[in-house]
């Protein structure tokens, strides 16, 4: 199976920036669409951003549009989520997912363990 590992989470003040990354050792990852999801404390998992397998298509939740940027490297082995102008409402465990498409978490086959992002006010 495709194993995903997230990194880059941490504690940041409101207005600051973080970059979270998703990597996979399997080359198959380069052929898959990738999404970022997050789960705030006490809430359900929600869609954040999507990038197609070739990087040509991206999609964002309205609340992060203009602040977050999803990208993947030329080899398609890494997917990053650059998060700027962070708000306390962005506090969540961020998950990388692959093998699905679009905004529905149910379509994704592979998931990472998550990385904690905490934004202080």
* 33-76 pLDDT, tens digit each: 999 999 999 999 999 999 999 999 999 999 999 999 999 998 88
pLDDT of residue 105: 97
- For CA atoms 120, 89, 36, 71, the dihedral sign is negative
The DSSP bridge partners found for residue 60 are 49
pLDDT of residue 90: 98
Per-residue b or e along 109-120, where b marks 16 or more CB atoms closer than 10 Å to that residue's CB: ebbbebbebbbe
Cβ-proximal residues to 111 (8 Å cutoff; 6+ apart), any chain:
4, 95, 96, 97
| Mean of pLDDT over the chain | 96
**Cβ atoms 46, 39 nearer than 8 A:** yes
Q: Does residue 93 register a pLDDT over 80?
A: yes
Percent of the chain with pLDDT over 90: 90
**Cβ atoms 74, 89 nearer than 8 A:** no
pLDDT of residue 75: 87
Q: Does residue 2 register a pLDDT over 90?
A: no
> Alpha carbon of 22 to those of 33, 49, 83, 94: distances in Å?
12, 13, 14, 10
Q: Which of 30, 69, 35, 75 has the alpha carbon at shortest distance from 53?
A: 30
């Amino acid at each position: 199976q495709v194993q995903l590992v997230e990194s880059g989470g941490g504690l940041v003040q409101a207005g600051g920036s973080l970059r979270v990354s998703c990597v996979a050792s399997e080359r198959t990852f380069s052929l898959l669409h990738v999404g970022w999801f997050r789960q705030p404390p006490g809430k359900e998992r929600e869609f954040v951003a999507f990038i197609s397998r070739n990087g040509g298509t991206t999609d964002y939740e309205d609340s992060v549009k203009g602040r977050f940027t999803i990208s993947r490297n030329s080899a398609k082995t890494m997917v990053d989520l650059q998060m700027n102008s962070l708000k306390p409402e962005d506090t969540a465990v961020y998950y990388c997912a692959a093998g699905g498409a679009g905004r529905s978490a149910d379509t994704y086959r592979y998931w990472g363990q998550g990385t904690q992002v905490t934004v202080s006010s």
